[in-house]
């Protein structure tokens, strides 16, 4: 099959590599550097499996039929299948989900190759695919939610938890098209077949938003448990361990943090809340609100440490931020929760120094950026969403809620 994949981010790149094992894949991006990197067989994102697959292709050990281009029109014109993995962003000021990068691809495909099968992998509002289908009645459009985690993008597609494909009502794509796409994903995967569901596209969109909102709920729940334990002088780690031994709850995904963050959970929870509109709810709004409450609490704890130092005679304490990334091992810091702590601390006039070796700018939102760990260690209070042994010699200065030393 000739496949074009639009967007060379976590989702698009992992799918392009997965599908290029058995199909001719052209990956499209608007950023020439990403395209050039992939054509040199360098991964534009940090992902161990993607890097290993690209290296195995370069050495001829395990070939991939994969090229990258900025020429979307040519790639889509030539394709039997177009997979859309461009970004979608929630704008809280306007309570609006920006899906324009998805529509740009749909418009171009409609123009150059109206018969192609098009599968949207980007996360979109509930009802979006059917609304796009109504605008382009002849398009063979499907929606398939993507469940990968950053840092494990290809691994999660090689071993998918499930494959879901949604068919819009009244569209030109058939159930057979949806099953065919599921088979393509399965063919690229390693190991036994994943559970596969074909459903309406609106149901499939809801699956994605409800799954991410449950994950956010779980993070918020253990964070709020931790806030309570901290305020009452209790041992949060023991409580969490005891709670998690109930097999219905389980001992996973329960490590306190500064809040849920990253690219997807903050925007997808807000999107689901917006989708509730006239539907009664208390919980979905509370999940969004709980993340703000947690960041307010963590920032207050940091500021109390700062005030404590002022009383001890330190005239202008400086707060150091250890990494902007959300998780150890991650290479991006989109919407990471530590940024919310930074913002609150700076709003009280406390200077902040950021240690982030992957950031080449001298400043981040007006704060000094350093690649020098010793410069960070000079700071009076160090905040770390996730602990690192690099901080062991200044442990008494570190504020973290990483109780279990894991993501
Ligand atoms: N990152 C995740 O963990 C994850 C998981 C599941 C779902 N998703 C969803 O998948 C979508 C993509 O996420 P991502 O993390 O891969 O995004 P990303 O921002 O890492 O990558 C998107 C890429 O699309 C490119 N792009 C933008 N406009 C384009 C256009 N018109 N044509 C071609 N390329 C274009 C960008 O340059 C960028 O390289 C989002 O809707 C996201 O919510 C992400």
Kindly report the number of other CB atoms within 10 A of residue 378's CB atom.
Answer: 14
The pLDDT score that the predictor gives to residue 347 is 97
**Ligand 1 atom showing the smallest separation from residue 121 Cα:** 10
CA–CA separation, 76 vs 113, rounded Å? Answer: 7
Distance 9 CA to ligand 1 centre (A): 5
Contacts with 163 (C-beta within 8 Å, 6 or more apart), sequence order: 144, 182, 185, 186, 194, 195, 196, 197
Inform me whether the pLDDT recorded for 273 exceeds 90.
yes
Distance between CA 129 and CA 59 in Å, rounded? 41
- In sequence order, what are the residues at sequence separation of 6 or more whose Cβ sits closer than 8 angstroms to the Cβ of residue 343? 365
Q: What is the pLDDT of residue 134?
A: 97
Mean pLDDT of 242-251: 98
Residue 331 has pLDDT above 80, yes or no: no
Q: From CA 126, how far away is CA 139, in angstroms rounded? A: 19
> Residues 323, 327, 329, CA angle at the centre, nearest 5°?
90
Structural domain boundaries of the chain?
2-194, 210-399
User: Does the C-beta of 90 come closer than 6 Å to ligand 1?
Assistant: no
Paired sense of beta strands 2-6 and 24-28, if any: parallel
Please tell me which residue in 17, 264, 306, 381 is annotated as part of the active site: 264
Collapsing DSSP to helix, strand or coil, 321 comes out as: strand
Architecture of domain 2-194: 3-Layer(aba) Sandwich (3.40)
What per-residue confidence (pLDDT) applies to 330? 73
Q: Nearest to residue 144, comparing CAs of 87, 207, 229, 68?
A: 207
Q: How confident is the model at residue 92 (pLDDT cuts 50, 70, 90)?
A: confident
Q: Is the CB of 8 under 6 A from ligand 1?
A: yes
Instruction: Note if 264 is an active site residue.
Output: yes
**CB of 72 closer than 6 angstroms to any ligand 1 atom:** yes
Residue 191 has pLDDT above 90, yes or no: no
Domains 2-194 and 210-399 share a fold: yes
Average pLDDT value over all residues in the chain: 96
145 Cβ closer than 6 Å to some ligand 1 atom:
no
Chain centroid to Cα 265, Å, comes to 7
Q: What is the pLDDT of residue 332?
A: 85
In the structure, what pLDDT confidence band is assigned to residue 95 with cuts at 50, 70 and 90?
Answer: confident
Encoded tokens for 69: 């281009």
CATH class for the region spanning 210-399: alpha beta
- Residue 277 DSSP one-character state: T
Nearest atom in ligand 1 to 147's CA? 6
């Amino acid at each position: 099959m000739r496949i074009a994949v639009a967007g060379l981010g976590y989702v698009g790149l992992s799918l392009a590599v997965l599908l290029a094992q058995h199909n001719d894949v052209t990956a499209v991006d608007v950023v020439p550097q990403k395209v050039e990197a992939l054509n040199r067989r360098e991964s534009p994102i940090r992902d161990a499996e993607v890097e290993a697959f690209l290296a195995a292709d370069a050495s001829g050990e395990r070939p991939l039929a994969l090229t990258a281009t900025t020429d979307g029109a040519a790639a889509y014109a030539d394709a039997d299948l177009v997979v859309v993995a461009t970004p979608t962003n929630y704008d809280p000021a306007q309570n609006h989900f920006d899906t324009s990068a998805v529509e740009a691809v749909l418009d171009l495909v409609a123009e150059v190759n109206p018969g192609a099968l098009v599968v949207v992998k980007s996360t979109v509002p509930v009802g979006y695919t059917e609304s796009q289908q109504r605008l382009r009645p002849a398009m063979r459009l499907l929606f398939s939610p993507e469940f990968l985690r950053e840092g494990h993008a290809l691994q999660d597609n090689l071993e998918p938890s499930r494959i879901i494909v949604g068919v819009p009502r009244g569209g030109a794509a058939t159930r057979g098209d949806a099953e065919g796409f599921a088979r393509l994903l399965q063919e690229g995967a390693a190991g036994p077949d994943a559970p596969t569901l074909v459903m309406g596209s609106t149901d499939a969109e809801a699956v994605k938003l409800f799954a991410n909102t449950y994950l956010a709920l779980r993070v918020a729940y253990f964070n709020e448990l931790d806030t309570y334990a901290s305020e009452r002088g209790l041992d949060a780690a023991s409580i969490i361990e005891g709670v998690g031994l109930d097999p219905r709850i389980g001992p996973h995904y329960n490590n306190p943090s500064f809040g849920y963050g990253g690219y997807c959970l903050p925007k997808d929870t807000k999107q689901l809340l917006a989708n509730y509109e006239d539907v009664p709810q208390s919980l979905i709004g509370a999940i969004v609100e709980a993340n703000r409450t947690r960041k307010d609490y963590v920032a207050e704890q940091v500021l109390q440490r700062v005030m404590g130092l002022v009383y001890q005679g330190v005239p202008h304490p400086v707060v150091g931020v250890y990494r902007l990334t959300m998780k150890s091992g991650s290479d991006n810091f989109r919407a990471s929760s530590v940024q919310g702590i930074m913002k609150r601390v700076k709003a009280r006039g406390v200077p902040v120094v950021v240690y982030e070796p992957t950031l080449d700018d001298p400043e981040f939102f007006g704060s000094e950026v350093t690649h020098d760990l010793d410069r960070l260690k000079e700071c009076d209070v160090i905040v770390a969403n996730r602990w690192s042994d690099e901080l062991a010699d200044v442990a008494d200065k570190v504020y973290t809620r990483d109780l279990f030393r894991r993501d």
